[in-house]
Amino acid sequence: MLFLVAAVAISIGAGAWWLQRVAFTPDGTRDSAAAILQETDIRVELNALITPTVAPSIDATPSEVSSFLENVVLSTRPGAAEMAPIVKRIQDRIIGNTDEPVVLTGEDLVPIVRDQRAADAPDVTLPIDTIGVLRNFENVLGWLWIIGGGLGLLALVLGIIARPDRRDVLRGLGEFGVAMACSIVVFGYLIPVHLLTALDNQTWTHAVPRLAARSTPVVFGAAVLFVVAGAALILGSMSGGKRRQWSTPLSVARYRGGDNPGWR
């Protein structure tokens, strides 16, 4: 029973840690920005905010700037690299890492539109606020992986102290594998891709599913490996013969000298 508790607690802690690192840790990289900018509504919103601000400063029509942003910047990996610092600031804002509004200055817009004249553009404050669901979830994940990991390790130590037999150890390892498979699917796919957007369907909430989608092949590949290994260990524990503790010494025959009449 202690091994089952340890398996469930550790797997929940590991799943929470994974989700926090994958989707709730802004890193300002091109890969993260490119993943988020795959969301059409996010690109449309950024385009609508930047275009009217920068177009007059570079003597271009709004349609020209809008087309350039969509086709050259927001939907390409080189453009994602230029947008990465801004996207990171937005991420920090929506998950509640900062209460400061996201303000784009003319200097921020220069590398985006690739025109030095954009430096004269007025500052624009993006109407993006903290999303309560994401902020609360980020806080819960931070505590969940610490508490889950701590309780799991405590249960594991107590289980080892109880001197389990070999079948209990094999079954515990198998239960850990199955629990990890379930946890990684729940925290790596179901929660970020389906649950969060069901709770809050704002435009920037969809940044989380896009970030989580990057690791979907890893999530399901690892889940298959864990469940196969876990099932094999559980079946192995059930097919064993006589129960025997890991600490049980080998049986040895004791020689009784009194049985030999030659001894006096």
Q: Residues 244-255: what's their mean pLDDT?
A: 48
Give the pLDDT band (50/70/90) at residue 169: confident
Q: Is residue 192 a contact partner of residue 209, using CB atoms and an 8 Å limit?
A: yes
pLDDT score recorded for residue 240: 56
pLDDT digits (tens, 9 = 90+) for 90-123: 999 999 999 999 999 999 999 999 999 999 999 9
Close Cβ partners of 180 (under 8 Å, ≥ 6 residues apart): 7, 11, 14, 222, 223, 226, 230
pLDDT score recorded for residue 3: 81
Q: Has residue 250 got a pLDDT over 50?
A: no
pLDDT score recorded for residue 255: 46
Q: Has residue 248 got a pLDDT over 80?
A: no
Q: Has residue 83 got a pLDDT over 50?
A: yes
Q: Which residues face 104 on adjacent strands?
A: 124
Q: What are the residue ranges spanned by the domains of the chain?
A: 2-17+144-238, 22-125
In angstroms, the CA 258 to CA 154 distance is 51
pLDDT digits (tens, 9 = 90+) for 110-168: 999 999 999 999 999 999 999 999 999 999 999 999 999 899 999 888 888 877 788 88
